[in-house]
Amino acid sequence: MGRRLYSALLYALSPLIWRRLRRERLQDHPRGERLGRIPSYQAERVLWVHAASVGEVITARPLIRSLIDDYPEHRVVVTTMTATGARQVQTLFGDLVTHHFVALDFPGATRRFVQRLAPEIAIIVETEIWPNLIYACAMAGVPVTIVNARITERGFARYQRFSKLMGEAIRRLAWVGAKSAEDAKRFRALGVSARRLNVTGALKYDLHVDENVFDKADALRERIGDRPVWVAGSTHEGEESQLLAAHERVLARLPDALLILVPRHPQRFDEVAELCLDQGMSVVRRSENAPVERDARVYLGDTMGELMMLYAAGDIAFVGGSLVDIGGHNLLEPAAMGLPVVSGPSLSSLGDVVATLDEANARVEVSSAGMLGETLVSLMLDETRRDTLGRNALAVVEANRGALGHTRDYLGRLIRARELHEAWPLADDRPPGSGR
């Protein structure tokens, strides 16, 4: 399927697309942003980072911070697709960056967006390959890079199925920093030349934890008191009911235990609070700043940007999106806090991280609510094993840091080449149409 047919299909589906985006709106972001109607930045020097949603924003956090520090004369613009991603950008960076929603992949919208943004470089986090957006960048002479680049088996098969469309877009990429050798192999098979492809490692290992995170966690733990605490982070619909069932098993053995439950999506906070009450679990909501009484069974993390702090307040971490068919979320966040990491089996998007943690005896996998409950009780009663798992998890993070340095180096070469109006240093040739 060529790009023209793809564009025609997008236009035909536009009513469904706009309906889907209704829940991804924010008051201070006009609808026109989705059509590329943003202010003009042509008089400024812009570095553009696109991170689709919350997970990608968190992954890109150290890189975005380094761009702010390394290029103070530039404006860093971060785009997201989702409202939750936008809120995460605001929480992490405030006024240090500018945020817009990325334009939908209509030809006119992407052309308008790139012309008005006029970035010196486009940095896409993980895998957001939008054919018209990449084409618009190529026509404007903007090098497009992908950092922390990954392709799952399912995604690879899909890209191969539409090889004409996706191959055209992928061949226009200036540089790809692959998360692993397997990801690099897949990008190579899709048409990225070896000269434009490097294995940098996973940016997720370069987590930086601010000291105030630990200070806030200590304050929360003092409010909670001396009791067993486990944290379930980034949970999804269909998963919370299993976690509450596991918590019931824990409470049968350890009546003082507390579950800190952190749903992935803020629009579900009220729904999850109701579910806890329906299951007979008394709930304290983080947003209400109420005392955590001894009879509280669930502490609901219904705020944004505090997951790392909530992990730090616990003894054991369960990472969500893994007991339902989501593919799992960031296992390295609790690992970086030195916590034992527990997850379900659905981890299709985290293959290399899972293998590394498992090899280091730093993760426990469970396949059901019953198994999770028994595992939690076992770990809560065995401090030696709990500490060993936590130390192993932290050691994995420390041993695999370095992706940020490699990524900064390669991006820096491209940015300097743009400043000096030189040929792209990493590409075989310039993408078609990049004549600016």
Long-range CB contacts (< 8 A, 24+ apart) of 336-339?
A: 336/207, 336/209, 336/308, 336/394, 336/397, 337/209, 337/308, 337/311, 337/312, 337/394, 338/390, 338/391, 338/393, 338/394, 339/231, 339/311, 339/314, 339/315, 339/390, 339/393
- Which residues, in sequence order, are bridge partners of residue 149? 178
Name every residue whose Cβ is closer than 8 Å to that of residue 25 and which is 6 or more positions away in sequence: 31, 83
What residues form DSSP beta bridges with 259? Answer: 230, 298
56 flagged as catalytic? yes
Rounded Cα gap, residues 436 and 352, in angstroms? 39
Nearest Cα to 40, choosing from 95, 94, 112?
Answer: 112
Pairing of the two strands 46-50 and 75-80: parallel
- Between CA 142 and CA 50 the distance in angstroms is 14
- In angstroms, the Cα distances linking 214 to 98, 195, 221, 305 are 28, 42, 10, 14
- Site of tokens 């986090």: 125
Helix (H, G, I), strand (E, B) or coil at 363: strand
Q: Among residues 24, 33, 44, 56, which one is catalytic?
A: 56
Enter the DSSP assignment of 149. Answer: E
Q: How far is 285 from 263, CA to CA, in rounded Å? A: 12
Chain-centre distance of CA 428, in angstroms?
31
Catalytic center residues? 56
